[in-house]
Structure 1
């Protein structure tokens, strides 16, 4: 068994994948390990670039199965590591964090996973700015037990085996929370370090373009899908206490039901207009930004609509094998010594140099 498996989940990450793979290879340089690129049927050059490195590359058989929860579980089907790190294709992993996380897992056997600080490299939209603020509020000195490891973490394989699967393939989002809830329900701990784990190169999109992207990708179905997962995993009470957007989504329906009842008595148009304006004004005051207030309220309503659809969607078994193709594999020992077929020219034609090969002096 390898010490570490790093699963890189990708979908159309041609501009980022080389950086992610190189950082993952650097992070396992001191360990017996492997890097697995789990691709959700990309339509760009992601897979072609990933194949230039000493990695295994697996591709989702059907694009209709794309979910945020699919990538980690797809990689898990192929990995062999004692510890497993989940890395997004637009992230760059910090090798120093991996060393510290491994040390904690080696010494503290009740810890199932270790995460760290996600450094956002782009904060040019309201969603990312809000994410940074939320993480800053959650950070503490030294290590801290947390509900889940958002943005990735290093997990103990034995703990994952105990709860049955790594990631719920049915989820369009919140897959890290679902994993954390199941691990905690089985008695495991999750630890968040103050140390930086990754640099995150997120979408180059404005606020409203990103919101529309979320709609098209099905992300707003995730509240309902998570509620269904919580019913199956018997953690609904915990979910309602810990994931704010779920009770908010339910609350939106209750709010508008009350508003419609009140509108029946007098001045229905005015009553509904006031009902629409109250949450926007309240959030604008709270966030000190009209744009952020409006963005928040629109997000709540999209999540509320998606909640109903997500609850009603059919689920497949999270344990079911995900149909996929292994399109590339490598004997790492051969690659490290220059005996593997990848060594001779991997990446040279594109200017991408694997971390284990010698780069021309002009590129160093």
Structure 2
């Protein structure tokens, strides 16, 4: 029942030490290994990580990091029959692994089990909004993906081909869930804490810009491209409510652009456009019970909608191919 715990990192010097210590404590009495899979940190992340008796691996400088490449990097070095995936800015709950292992033992067709990701950052609008909505981050019971990580069965992952698609800058957990469920496996969330997450304590709009630059927002387009022509395509289209939302956003933007050309008065058209913007922000503000959250939600829609086609046309590499990397620390 030993576990390989994979910690994904990129410039996490402030948190990685505590994350490693939480994992080592959780593995006491269970057994296994800890693998820090680093995406090319430029701070002291590696210096801190290598001070512990764990394995540390890092992407070669020529390989660009992504959300999908980190988990697969750790997976290709892992050995144990169970894989626990988490970020380098998370603290693993000490009681999670025993309960998760017990669940997998009694549910042989369960590919993975997770718990709640407790967001410790209550200042960013992004994390406040995430905590308020009913989403894959907080449903319990049978789920379609394990956002934030969790405990996976190696047998199931190998049957699905690979842990994480290296080409994806987002939605990598959903892609894995699709592939696992296509093979007849299930995923489950326990009604207990998995980790505490210390997310980016920066302005939500700055975080949105960072995610645009890093390619994170292209994830939904990339996962659509990855599934194109494959058996999971119909299920993906059916299960991603974001697709309907982006469709509405595209229609809204097209209507705003068209109005000045179809109405006799450009002034009236622009007034209607402004009224549409104010009305949509107002509706979202009422739903979120906050003007700032409502405005942020609409701005985030526009960023995501613009990024989707860019992700869809992105070139792909073989997702299961060996990732060029180096071993920084062998561990014990």
Q: Scaled by the length of structure 2, what TM-score is found?
A: 0.93
1:250 and 1:4 map into 2 onto residues whose CA distance is 42
1:232 and 1:48 map into 2 onto residues whose CA distance is 44
Matched, 1:250 2:251: no
Q: Which residue of 2 aligns with 1:320?
A: 321
2:290 and 2:282 map into 1 onto residues whose CA distance is 10
Q: Which residue of 2 aligns with 1:207?
A: 204
1:222 and 1:129 map into 2 onto residues whose CA distance is 21
Taking only aligned residues, the RMSD between alpha carbons, in angstroms, comes to 1.8
Q: Which residue of 2 aligns with 1:338?
A: none
Q: Which residue of 2 aligns with 1:25?
A: 24
1:64 offset after TM fit, Å? 4.7
Residues 7-18 of structure 1 mapped to structure 2, 5 A cutoff: 7-18=6-17
2:37 and 2:15 map into 1 onto residues whose CA distance is 14
Matched, 1:241 2:242: no
* 1:225 alignment partner, SS class: helix
2:134 and 2:90 map into 1 onto residues whose CA distance is 17
Unpaired stretches in structure 2, ≥5 consecutive residues: none
Q: Which residue of 2 aligns with 1:222?
A: 219
2:286 and 2:15 map into 1 onto residues whose CA distance is 38
Shift in alpha-carbon separation, 1:247–1:229, aligned structure 2, 3 A: farther
- Runs of 4+ off more than 4 Å: 135-140
Matched, 1:181 2:188: no
User: Deviations for 1:170-194, whole angstroms, at most 9, x for unmatched residues?
Assistant: 1111111111111111110101001
Does the 8 Å CA contact 1:263/1:271 hold for their aligned counterparts? no
User: Deviations for 1:81-120, whole angstroms, at most 9, x for unmatched residues?
Assistant: 1000001000000121100001111221100000001111
Does the 8 Å CA contact 1:263/1:272 hold for their aligned counterparts? no
* 1:293 alignment partner, SS class: helix
1:61 and 1:9 map into 2 onto residues whose CA distance is 15
1:202 offset after TM fit, Å? 1.1
1:5 and 1:62 map into 2 onto residues whose CA distance is 25
Q: Which residue of 1 aligns with 2:151?
A: 154
Shift in alpha-carbon separation, 1:231–1:259, aligned structure 2, 3 A: same
Q: Which residue of 1 aligns with 2:49?
A: 50
1:275 offset after TM fit, Å? 3.3
1:253 and 1:303 map into 2 onto residues whose CA distance is 11
User: Which sits farther off after the overlay, 219-228 or 111-120?
Assistant: 219-228
1:34 and 1:214 map into 2 onto residues whose CA distance is 31
Q: Which residue of 1 aligns with 2:121?
A: 122
Q: Which residue of 2 aligns with 1:144?
A: 141
Residues 1-364 of structure 1 mapped to structure 2, 5 A cutoff: 3-62=2-61, 64-134=63-133, 139=138, 144-231=141-228, 233-266=230-263, 267=265, 268-331=269-332
1:50 and 1:330 map into 2 onto residues whose CA distance is 10
